[in-house]
Structure 1
Amino acid sequence: MTQIANDTPTAAPVGVSGGVLLAALSAMTFGLSGPLATGLLDNGWSPGAIVLTRIAVAALVLSPFTVVALRGKWRLLRGRATQILMYGVLAVAGAQFCYFSAVAQMDVGPALLIEYTAPAAVVVWLWVRFGQRPSRLTVLGALVAATGLVLVLDLISGADLAWSGVAWAFAAMIGATAYFLISADTESGIPPLALAGTGLVVGTVTLGLLAAIGVLPMHATTAPADYGFGSLPWWAPLLLLGVVTAAVAYATGIAAIRLLGSRTASFFALLEVVFAVLFAWVLVDQFPGLPQLLGGLLIIAGIVAVRLGDRAVPA
């Protein structure tokens, strides 16, 4: 890989607006995964079984689109094999495995908060590696978004922390950071759909190996999954998890990152937490409180500030 990461967003207004829409769609579809998985978790499915099935279904769904996107240019995959392996192992399998390892030892809220320090890690990387010093408005937006994230995750009331869980959460943050930085590389020549499809295949193989050696517990049932609106057969949420929250989410996410740049897109990804709270309200009757609603508004305000500040940073 010649560059991690090319953070020069497109200058075309249509490209920028399209990137914003794609980023919002990616965050929304990623945010649906938690509430959808809740119904399966409550019925005896292990997190590992859900994640492996989700990524495998996504890889299968995107496979024909990957072939079409490459248009016979298989040499791109050979020339960028290291990049694809890094994406699949770190951004897909690593982020998923480390996050669930973290929540197995600590509360979900602080684990998510640590993982979602990835936007700050992206800013630091671009500053240290490429000399792209963040503007004051970008820093202010990051602080506002971080405050909103704390409120949305309801961390004010206290949380159960474990050092081993914190370590796993930081590892998940590294995987999330790799997702933004590798996806932003426009010099590779690999189309977004092809990177998503091949990365998901690598991620499936990696998670499958972890399951085979017993590191990733696998438990599943065929009992219906219960939600606030009723029950669904076990395969329905799995299909939605694979098609919507993985295939669509990764493909649109990569396209958005290339249009907006890794810095701005990483802050847009914080909307995933907001959407997750809203979907939890609709699907599993977890009504958001006033602090969570206020936190959502702060996240959006922070994203706007980062986007405005991003324009002041020379590419």
Structure 2
Amino acid sequence: MLTITHDSAVRRWRAGLLCALASASSFGLSGPLARGLMNAGWSSVAVVAVRVLLAAAVLVPIAVVQLRGDWQLLRRNATLLTMYGLIAIAGTQVAFFNAVAHMQVGVALMIELTAPIAVVGWLWLRHRQPPAAATVAGAALGIGGLAMVIDIRTGQTTSWVGIAWAFAAMVGAACYFVLSAQGNGVLPGTVLAAGGLLIGGFALLALGVIGILPLRATTNPIVFDDFTVSWWVPLLLLGTVTAAIAYVAGIAATRLLGSRLASFVALFEVLAALVFAWALLGEAPRPIQLLGGVLIVIGVIVVRRGE
């Protein structure tokens, strides 16, 4: 009996790890693709709105099948769906894409993915679980690495607007991990993703139509480092790969691994984004920023062991 239980736990962990890596890799592609669109004249809000609504169009038919006519399930989880759509999806993406409009994709992402430390802090405050010494040490390493990523010594090249947006994205990412774990066993992950994408997408469109947020799009070719593509190519990839696949896989990973562990595995997104940004945009990180990224990764691993 114990062997069966252990084997089941191992299979669950492996499945969760694969989902988390798939989600992180998919999310890592979003920044470079969005940067290409914004360089061609798109506003960050327009990129996010089209991205999430395309993803919703992919996932809604699947979600309808999974609901099996139980529309009351949506009403009972209306608060979760609304918070997920407005904060975890729309808010986080707008903040991140505004950050990459002012700074390198890899740097913005490294700041955003200090979210695991925020998750640990939230769970400590929410459930009164004080952190272990290793957790405190890991957080200190993460903060030190963050200072190196920002590269304070070269203040003349630091975009404090970009940093502020990146920290806002970090808060949104922490909310994403906490909210994704809710509704497990009750609300299917695809339904949560599809509902959140619809709510977030239509909210952004509404704010754009009334003039609160800038909605600006063009049909100019999208120029990357060594090649040029039509405007619809990065949009299609943003909607299907970096949103539909990424969110469903991310929700599955969080429910299989828990908020803490899933948020730490998501650090793989930093490596994926650095590779994609280097390949598509020619953005090579400075050595001190690479060292800072290493310290952030070490810090959150230490935090995880402490937890």
Q: TM-score, normalised by structure 2?
A: 0.85
Say whether residues 1:79 and 2:76 are aligned partners: yes
Distance 1:30 1:221 in 2: 24
**Aligned-residue offset at 1:294:** 3.1
Read off the aligned partner of 1:284 and give its amino acid letter: L
Matched, 1:280 2:262: no
List aligned pairs for 1:86-105, cutoff 5 A.
86-100=83-97
Change (3 A) 1:207 1:284: same
Q: Which amino acid aligns with 2:245?
A: V
Corresponding position of 2:5: none
The 8 Å contact of residues 183 and 254 in structure 1, kept in 2 or not, is answered as yes
| Cα distance per residue 1:90-109 (max 9 Å; x no partner) | 111222334456677x6568
Contact 1:152 1:273 in 2 (8 A): no
Contact 2:104 2:283 in 1 (8 A): no
Q: Percent identity of the aligned residues?
A: 51
Task: Report the 3-state secondary structure (helix = DSSP H, G, I; strand = E; otherwise coil) of the residue aligned with 2:129.
Answer: coil
Contact 2:35–2:97 (CA under 8 A) maintained in structure 1: no
Q: Tell me, what secondary structure is at the counterpart of 1:157?
A: helix
Return 5+ residue gaps in structure 1 as ranges. Answer: 1-10, 311-315
For residues 13 and 307 of structure 1, what CA distance do their matches in structure 2 show?
18
Q: 1:146 and 1:274, CA in 2 relative to 1: closer, same or farther beyond 3 A?
A: farther
> Per-residue displacement from partner, 1:4-56 (whole Å, max 9, x unpaired)?
xxxxxxx8122122222222221221111111122212211111111111111
In structure 2, the gaps of 5 or more residues are 1-7
Q: Which whole-Å deviations, capped at 9, do the CAs of 1:221-264 have from their partners, x for residues lacking one?
A: 21211122411111000000111111111111111111221122
Residues 301, 121 of structure 1: alpha-carbon distance in 2 compared, 3 angstrom cutoff: closer
Q: Is the 8 A contact 1:90 1:178 kept in 2?
A: yes
Structure 1 or 2: larger helix share?
A: 2
Q: How does 1:47-66 map to 2 (within 5 A)?
A: 47-66=44-63
The AA in structure 1 aligned to 2:137 is L
Cα separation, 2, equivalents of 1:287 and 1:113: 14
TM-score by length of 1: 0.83
Aligned residues: 298
1:158-183 Cα deviation digits (max 9, x unpaired) = 32435x973x6555444322211111
Distance 1:155 1:33, change over 3 A: farther
Aligned-residue CA RMSD (Å): 2.8
Give the deviation of 1:139 after TM superposition: 3.0
Q: How does 1:17-36 map to 2 (within 5 A)?
A: 17-36=14-33
Aligned pair partner of 2:139 in 142, 163, 186? 142
Alpha-carbon offset, residue 271 of structure 1: 3.1
Following TM superposition, by how much is the alpha carbon of 1:128 offset from its aligned partner in structure 2, in angstroms? 1.6
**Corresponding residue SS for 1:217:** coil
Q: In the alignment, does 2:64 pair up with 1:67? A: yes
- Cα contact 1:118–1:266 (8 A) shared by 2: yes
